[in-house]
Amino acid sequence: MTGNPALRRLGLLTPALATIALLIGLPLILLIWISLLQKGGSSGVDWNAAPSLGNYIRLAWEEDFDGTMILNTSYLVILLRSVLQAALTTGLSLLFGLPVALWMAGLSRGQRDLMLLLITIPFWTNLLVRNYAWLIILREDGWLAQAVGSVSPIGPIPLLYNDLAVAIGLTYSFLPFMILPLYTVFEKFDWRLLEAAHDLGASRSRALRRVLIPIAMPGIAAGSLLVFIPCLGAFVTPALLGGGKTLMLGNIIQMQFGASRNWPFGAALAVVLLALMLIVMVAMAIWRNRRVR
Amino acid sequence: MTDSSAVSIRSVSKGFGRGTAAVRVLENVSVEIGQREFFTLLGPSGCGKTTLLRLIAGFETADQGSISIDGQDVTQAPPFRRPVNTVFQNYALFPHMTVEQNVGFALVEQQMPADRIRARVGEALEMVRMQSFARRRPAELSGGQQQRVALARALAPRPRVLLLDEPLSALDLKLRKEMQIELKLLQAEAGITFLFVTHDQEEALTLSDRVAVMQGGRILQMGPPRDIYEAPTHRFVADFIGDINLIEAEALPDNAVRLPGGTQMSLPHKARGRITLAIRPERARILAPEAGQLQAQVIHTAYLGTALVHKLALADGGTFLLRQSDLDGPQPAIGSQVGLGLPAEALRVLAQ
Ligand SMILES: Nc1ncnc2c1ncn2[C@@H]1O[C@H](COP(=O)(O)OP(=O)(O)OP(=O)(O)O)[C@@H](O)[C@H]1O
Ligand SMILES: [Mg+2]
């Protein structure tokens, strides 16, 4: 044993640091490097090109015939749509997840464990399969579409291949990520605090607003982050349930790496996506620090 | 309206669980608490004190019976519609709010303007001497400080009735004594009815206008502290409050009793069969051997500053405590035989 504790600590940390560097750091650097190169060759990347910011510029501007740069909003629109779609999904997950988590926290030990199992079961099934299942439910002759059509005063409503279908599919996929952190806070919640609130004159809804929700805020924040971030990069659900009409950022990235064989542009899009997520997380962290003071 | 009781509990019963797991926690409890009364529920752990408070506050519903507050039947009313506030046994302060926000909670619900809330919160915090902690969060307070905040929070909206569930139990002796006096003053000043729960008999006797002694979900005896102390009607009450000597005796005709050892004496009460007599340690007298009603041997004497307490062995094997407050009087030597004088008016006949 050496006498230097700092050195020893470093020695103990090495395996973890090496893993992070190899599995996260290196690919990230590679991604950023590729985003600065040009498309070309059979692999999709011209490794000899001079690095430039061209791919990032292409996100918002394109070159006209005479060489002037004009604004091209098509990617920006998709970016905005991705953010809105992710926000909508987060909102829906919160709406459905909150009551479920609340209800679960009130169950007996055994029932809770069963519910946790039921909630995690979908993860054992392939995402594609689960999305195809929704395809069957939502399509024109599916039972949900039929049921909606029979009660709707304006006749059948198309449920598939639109933003709504994508929102349904995404909410379904990511709902467990909202329920689990919420359940964790509610499980620890001291229900006598609600009694204290009632005692001091707060009705049920007032007690929820002033006591339960604020105390559950860390869980709400964590759940929202866990839903919002993967939603932003989702591509299976929008491709299947959106029918290729309502593209999200994930689909464009997939296309660049696949059919278009333009890795550098795909990499640039991926870096933008990462930056977006980072901004959201940093904003969240700042807000949370402010709350704790 | 003015002559109605502050709290009126009529034949309330309450149980938890079903089937074989069912437990009866309150059995046919009836209490009338007067306006501005300081009323105390006293009893051992698990006797149902908290449950009775929860029924009055509205967190539980009675299986049977009815409850009214200020003449209004509230048996079915939700907690937020009852003019009572509670100081919880576990404080139940809101962890995400400062002391100030905790105390102002009810006032915000009443939609009081902000400047009046600030004034009221200041007053309430001053009352419990916590002004300098206004900006702290509950996690940054000691147990005793949290208790005082809980008290301020319940007092701030000036309820008609304040329910206090062992509000002083976490305080050290000195602060507890101070807070007892504060509470008493506060209650008189604010004109609020206090329903106080404790299992500290001394606290109950010092503070209360009336005390109800509970055991196993029933009220055994109810009355002013002096009656409870001097004239207990149940063996449990006598035993629970202060020290007492119990003597098994046999009742004879014409109000007479035969004590262990054969001495007969007459009682001011009627009694039949085998009975238990009770006498407080300070009411018995030490006499010369062979005098008095019982014979005993001194086995130990403790000096308590204001009195001497003698522990005596009775001839039939029981022990007897005797409190001598005349410190300058004659003191029996350890091991000596003495006679015990039991004044008839100090003896109580107990129910089991
Ligand atoms: N929700 C409940 N379910 C089942 N039993 C309960 C419930 N609440 C209380 N009890 C039982 O009722 C009895 C009385 O409880 P209670 O809390 O009223 O006692 P207490 O007199 O306040 O005691 P302490 O002095 O320890 O606070 C206890 O035996 C307790 O186990
Ligand atoms: Mg209790």
What integer pLDDT is reported at residue A252 of this predicted model? 87
**The predicted structure's pLDDT at residue A199:** 93
| CA-wise closest residue to B13 among B40, B70, B44, B51 | B51
Antiparallel, parallel or unpaired: β B38-42 and B210-215: parallel
From the CA of B53, how far away is ligand 1's center (Å)? Answer: 11
Tell me which DSSP letter residue A50 carries.
Answer: P
Please give the backbone phi and psi of residue B215, each rounded to the nearest 5 degrees, phi first.
-150, 135
Cβ-defined contact of A199 to B105 (cutoff 8 Å): no
B111 token code pair? 């939609």
Token pair 């979900």 in the structure block, residue = B217
Average per-residue pLDDT for chain A: 87
Distance B49 CA to ligand 1 centre (A): 8
Is B298:B335 a contact under the CB 8 Å cutoff?
Answer: yes
In tens, the pLDDT along B69-78 reads 998 899 999 9
Distance CA A144, CA A149 (A): 8
Contact: A192, B92; criterion CB under 8 Å: yes
Nearest CA to ligand 1 atom 19: B46
Q: Which atom of ligand 1 is nearest to the CA of B48?
A: 18
Q: Domain-by-domain residue ranges, chain A?
A: 5-61, 74-261
* Residue A2 pLDDT grade (very low, low, confident, very high; cuts 50, 70, 90): low
**Cβ pair A205, A261 in contact under 8 A:** no
Strands B218-223 and B210-215: antiparallel
The Cα of B108 is separated from the nearest Cα of chain A by a number of Å equal to 9
Task: Return the CATH superfamily for domain B252-350.
Answer: Nucleic acid-binding proteins (2.40.50.140)
Confidence (pLDDT) at A90: 95
Mean pLDDT of B222-251: 90
The interface pTM score, or ipTM, of the predicted complex is 0.81
Is the pLDDT reported for residue B213 higher than 50?
yes
Q: Which of B88, B94, B110 sits opposite A201 (nearest CB)?
A: B110
Which of the ligands is closest to the CA of residue B15?
1
- The interface residues of chain B toward chain A in range 69-108, judged by CB-CB distance below 8 A, are 78-80, 84-86, 88, 90, 92-96, 105-106, 108
The pTM assigned to this predicted structure is 0.78
Residue ID of nearest Cα to ligand 1 atom 16: B48
Model confidence at A152, pLDDT cuts 50, 70, 90, reads: confident
High-pLDDT (> 70) share of chain B, %: 99
**Measured between CB atoms, does A63 come within 8 Å of chain B?**
no
Write the residue in B79, B95, B157 that is nearest to A215 by C-beta: B95
Looking at the domain B5-236, which fold is it? Rossmann fold (3.40.50)
Task: Please work out, in degrees rounded to the nearest 5, the angle formed at the alpha carbon of residue B264 by the alpha carbons of B259 and B265.
Answer: 105
Assess whether the C-beta atom of B94 lies below 6 angstroms from ligand 1. no
Residue B218 has pLDDT above 70, yes or no: yes
The mean-pLDDT minimum among A44-53, A108-117, B42-51, B207-216 falls in A44-53
Contacts of B57 in chain A (CB under 8 A): 195, 199
Judge whether A35 and A264 are in contact, CB under 8 Å.
yes
Mean pLDDT for the stretch of residues B163-184: 86
Is the model's pLDDT at A182 over the cut of 50?
yes
Helix (H) or strand (E) holding B337: strand B337-341
- Coarse DSSP helix, strand, coil percentages of chain A, rounded to the nearest 5 percent: 75, 5, 25
- Residue carrying the six token digits 């419990």: B128
Dist. CA B351–CA B248, nearest whole Å? 12
pLDDT for the residue numbered A292 = 60
Give the C-alpha separation, A65 to A60, whole Å: 17
Residue type, B234: H
pLDDT tens-digit readout, B107-130 = 999 999 999 999 999 999 988 889
Measured in angstroms, how far is the CA atom of residue B52 from the centroid of ligand 2? 9
- Provide Rg for chain A, Cα atoms: 24
pLDDT, mean of residues B19-40:
90
At residue A1, the pLDDT reads: 52
Strands (E), chain A: 61-63, 69-71
User: Which of A123, A81, A126, A124 has its CA nearest to residue A250?
Assistant: A81
pLDDT tens digits for range B183-205? 888 888 888 999 999 988 889 99
Domain assignments of chain B as residue spans, ordered by start: 5-236, 252-350
Closest CB to A195: pick one of B59, B96, B106.
Answer: B59
Mean pLDDT of A114-126: 88
Average pLDDT, whole number, for chain B?
89
Contacts of B106 in chain A (CB under 8 A): 200-201
What is each CA distance from B142 to B105, B119, B138, in whole angstroms? 21, 25, 8
Angle between helices A127-138 and A143-151 (to 10 degrees): 30
Q: CA A230, CA A207: separation in Å to the nearest integer?
A: 33
pLDDT at B1: 45
For residue B2, pLDDT over 70 is answered with: no
- Which chain A residues are Cβ-neighbours of B105 within 8 angstroms? 197, 200, 202, 210
Average pLDDT over residues A257-273: 89
B51 Cα nearest atom in ligand 1: 18
Q: Ligand 1, from B25, B45, B165: best to mutate by most atoms within 8 Å of Cβ?
A: B25
- Residue B129: the pLDDT is 85
Pairing of strands B210-215, B193-198: unpaired
Tokens of residue B328, six digits: 């300058």
Average pLDDT over residues A48-62: 84
The CATH class that applies to domain A74-261 reads mainly alpha
Query: Which pLDDT belongs to residue B331?
Result: 85
Rounded to a whole number of angstroms, the distance from the CA of B155 to the nearest CA of chain A is 10
Tell me, using a 6 A CB cutoff, whether residue B49 lines ligand 1: yes
> Which pLDDT value is given to residue B189?
81
Q: Is there a contact between A199 and B95 if contact means CB atoms under 8 Å apart?
A: no
Distance B46 CA to ligand 2 centre (A): 7
Pick from B71, B170, B186: nearest CA to B123: B186
Neighbour tally for B315: CB within 10 Å = 12
Q: Name the least confident of A287-291, B6-10, B51-55, B305-309.
A: A287-291
Indicate the pLDDT class of residue B266, thresholds 50, 70 and 90: confident
Q: What is the pLDDT of residues B42-69, one digit of tens each?
A: 999 999 999 999 999 999 999 999 999 9
Q: Tens digits of per-residue pLDDT, A66-107?
A: 777 788 888 888 889 899 999 999 999 999 999 999 999 988
Q: Is pLDDT above 80 for A139? A: yes
